[in-house]
Structure 1
Amino acid sequence: MTTANTDPEEHPKTEPAPMSREWHWHPELPVKFAPYWAWPPKFGVLGKWAWQNWLQFSDRSIFLLLAFLIAFLMQPVGPDQTSFSFAWLAHVFVRNWLLLLIVAGGLHLWFYGVDGQGKLLKYDPRPYLKRKNALFKFGYQTWDNVYYSMVFGATFLSVLESFLRWMYANEFIQTLSFSAHPIWFIALFPLLALWQSMHFYLVHLLLHQPFIYKHVHAVHHRNVNTGPWSGMSMHPVEAFGYLSALLIMLILPSHPVHMLFLGYWLMLGAASSHSGYEAIWAKDRQALLLGAFFHQLHHRYYECNYGNAEMPWDKWFGTYHDGSEDATKRTRNRKREMHAKGKVHASK
């Protein structure tokens, strides 16, 4: 699950922003939502945000480019996909496994393997957990996360993509062309990001119900100090629920490129947004924005920020943590009240 960068200014090179002693670095507070929701509208801010997030080099623009390359060049939907065959199905599965391996594995190698930038722009002051811990499958956080991400995350995305390709190929769902509907074709990309935000918030609330949390969502929340492989490290029930946002294509006129963009937004965006860093810093500049401090707060404090910064669901429903110490106190008080009523899982 990726989140929107809400601060269009480039972050300082070395100095951590002043804030709570619980963090090594964080963006300017309070944590903001995407500027769609500012009132009165701030068109200059919105334009700058859209330029940085959609048109400049960012994880979001990479997913968009990747979707176009696959949908129009590498594996367009065609007559061969009207029936299931090993050749095109294998292409889908292998491609998605490789993409997750490259993105999550590459980010992990940069941040935690070769230690490419030390703690520069790192949220959590604690080192990434490398020692053996019985909490994790195989005893190690990374191995546990790789297992769940590859076996269930990339696999379930491939199952859903294959099913939707078959639906497009057989014209069971309408294929939208740019030539016929250029405005809707373009507008659908940001609309899908908003849909994903709503879907994620609702699914996430359900996952935090005590019984479901204990037996399903706890797998993901083993990662308090997250890394790139944490993003898709989910129990199979959660992985399917999270990725089921793709099924909106069954009722929404779209093109396979929209389906692919949303799929990579979900899977590869989860790797970038859980990296534990605001951005990749290389050659004395911010090379690639990844930031998801909004969701990092959720992994630290649990009962807050169930959605993402694309839409202010948490603000609307009273579960918003803006990064301040006052918000931390409110969240902990809320957790104590929920625990007293038997409505919260045992967590930090």
Structure 2
Amino acid sequence: MTNAQTNAQDKASNVQDSAPMSREWHWHPELPVKYAPYWLWPTKPGVFAKWVWQNWLQFSDRSIFLTLAFLVAFWVQPVGSEQAGFAFGWVAWVFVRNWLLLLIVAGGLHHWFYGIDGQGKLLKYDPRPYFKRKNALFKFGYQTWDNVYYSMMFGATFLSLLECFLRWSYASGLIGTSSFSAHPVWFILLFPVLALWQSFHFYVVHLILHQPSIYKHVHAVHHRNVNTGPWSGMSMHPTEALGYLSAILIVLLLPSHPVHMLFLGYWLMLGAASSHSGYEAIWARDRQALLLGAFFHQLHHRYYECNYGNAEMPWDKWFGTYHDGSDDATKRTRDRKRQMHI
């Protein structure tokens, strides 16, 4: 480790509570793992306001997805009357744009963390190195090639198909367009509502995928990635990819604008890349440059039968599948896994 990385490691330790680290991790955030503060009772307005500021209004992955959705919806490719009919031009642009976005986000994060080794193990969850050696478990023999194939072939492609259908639905009047000028409060509130919806949808779909008969034929493709990287996020069997991305179809039922549809699509696809990066944050120039943290889901990849949802809503806590990062929770999860597969 370089002197700069050593100094950065010392500074980054301030992010971590003084409690002992779990011996199974190189680094983890303060434990127990916390949910979004929507669910604190009694409510703590100060904590909630700080969380909203950090996650929605400052530079974060979700604020990037939000900005990107606005750019595409109002400038790069707004929904227009020409999209009331399927034509090669606008459809092709949707596919090319989504392939490029996933390539830039997942590829960029992979290059930083595992290509040029931009921050070594600083804020890395798993103590083991990312799997670069040849392994017959993966298609083409390598984890990265396997992940890129499934992500681009099914992840970005299926999202593009769904986006084209929804663009046609808006343009043809099959679903109405709810504008900011007509419904300003709903227009703004729908963004966090969609994040909460995705949490529920993910929990239900994920729980189904972990049924043994489905897991071994479908979800096992994704769980080849125990030590995850950015390309692991959308590396899914096509059946799983379609089920996971189908969360975007909620705009068929809720009054929305295409910007909401795009935000949810980027949350699903690009958010999977950032949340599977294997790191808590990008650390550059001796400071945290971009928070990515998804230790909640990293626990799922390590122990499998826990944390089927995400930290946006406490579904796992409510239904007894919550892993808070403690050694006791690891023992309970392993016992539960043995019972499930007897």
TM-score (ref. length: structure 2): 0.95
Count the aligned residue pairs.
Answer: 330
Is 1:13 the counterpart of 2:21 in the alignment?
no
Q: Find the partner of 1:290 among 288, 292, 305.
A: 292
Distance in 2 between residues matched to 1:216 and 1:172, nearest whole Å: 33
Partner in structure 2 of residue 250 of structure 1: 252
Partner in structure 2 of residue 78 of structure 1: 80
What SS does the corresponding residue of 1:13 show, helix, strand or coil? helix
What SS does the corresponding residue of 1:254 show, helix, strand or coil? coil
Is 1:310 the counterpart of 2:308 in the alignment?
no
Is 1:182 the counterpart of 2:184 in the alignment?
yes
Q: Map of 1:45-64 to 2, 5 A cutoff?
A: 45-64=47-66
Is 1:141 the counterpart of 2:139 in the alignment?
no
Q: Find the partner of 2:301 among 299, 302, 315.
A: 299
What is the CA-CA distance between 1:211 and the residue it aligns to?
Answer: 1.0
Partner in structure 2 of residue 321 of structure 1: 323
What SS does the corresponding residue of 1:240 show, helix, strand or coil? helix
What is the CA-CA distance between 1:14 and the residue it aligns to?
Answer: 4.1
Distance in 2 between residues matched to 1:107 and 1:155, nearest whole Å: 20
Partner in structure 2 of residue 157 of structure 1: 159
What SS does the corresponding residue of 1:299 show, helix, strand or coil? helix
Q: Map of 1:98-247 to 2, 5 A cutoff?
A: 98-247=100-249
Q: Which amino acid aligns with 1:148?
A: Y
What SS does the corresponding residue of 1:215 show, helix, strand or coil? coil
Partner in structure 1 of residue 24 of structure 2: 22
What is the CA-CA distance between 1:248 and the residue it aligns to?
Answer: 0.5
Q: Which amino acid aligns with 1:285?
A: R
Gaps of 5+ in 2: 1-8
TM-score (ref. length: structure 1): 0.94
What is the CA-CA distance between 1:323 and the residue it aligns to?
Answer: 0.1
What SS does the corresponding residue of 1:286 show, helix, strand or coil? strand
Q: Map of 1:269-284 to 2, 5 A cutoff?
A: 269-284=271-286
Task: After superposition, give the CA deviation of every residue in 1:216-262 in whole Å (9 maximum; x if it has no partner).
Answer: 00000000000000000000000000000011111111000000000
Distance in 2 between residues matched to 1:13 and 1:35, nearest whole Å: 26
Do the aligned residues in 2 keep the contact of 1:25 with 1:123 (CA within 8 Å)? Answer: yes
Distance in 1 between residues matched to 2:144 and 2:180, nearest whole Å: 42
Partner in structure 2 of residue 3 of structure 1: none
Distance in 1 between residues matched to 2:218 and 2:334, nearest whole Å: 23
Partner in structure 1 of residue 69 of structure 2: 67
What is the CA-CA distance between 1:20 and the residue it aligns to?
Answer: 1.2
Do the aligned residues in 2 keep the contact of 1:19 with 1:324 (CA within 8 Å)? Answer: no
Identity of aligned residues (%): 84
